[in-house]
Amino acid sequence: MRHRTANNAQIDLQLPKNLTFSDICKFIRKTLNVTQRIMAEKLNTDVRTYQKWEYGTSLPSDFAAFNLAILYQYALSKNYELIESAKFVNKEIA
């Protein structure tokens, strides 16, 4: 998979075939170099809930998964500054 970074450089991403949702959560958090507590705050959820996602014992709502997808894009592009200025959806989409 080819991906363009914020400065328009191309990089090749080699993702494992058996990637789990738990793996994705860990990848995002570690790439952004933040704690589980900060991830939970950015996703507007409780830290215990976020930990359950990372441990693979539960899955997020569609709303939280959507916000996690936003963070995933930031992690892929390694655009760390955007996490602080990101505009997250603050209500569920009906």
What 3-state DSSP class applies to 81?
A: coil
Give the model confidence (pLDDT) of 34-79 as tens digits: 999 999 998 889 999 999 999 999 999 888 888 888 888 877 776 5
Q: Give the tens place of pLDDT for each residue, 15-44.
A: 556 888 898 899 888 888 899 999 999 888
Q: Which domains does the chain have, with CATH numbers?
A: 18-85 (1.10.260.40)
Q: 11 - beta bridge partners?
A: 3
* Percentage of residues in the chain having pLDDT higher than 90: 24
Residue 52 is predicted with a pLDDT of 96
User: Per-residue pLDDT averaged across 8-14, rounded?
Assistant: 52
Q: What's the confidence (pLDDT) of residue 32?
A: 82
Rounded to whole angstroms, how far apart are CA atoms 85 and 66? 17
The answer to whether the CB of 89 falls within 8 A of the CB of 63 is yes
pTM (predicted TM-score): 0.63
Burial class (CB in 10 A: 0-12, 13-18, 19+), 90: exposed
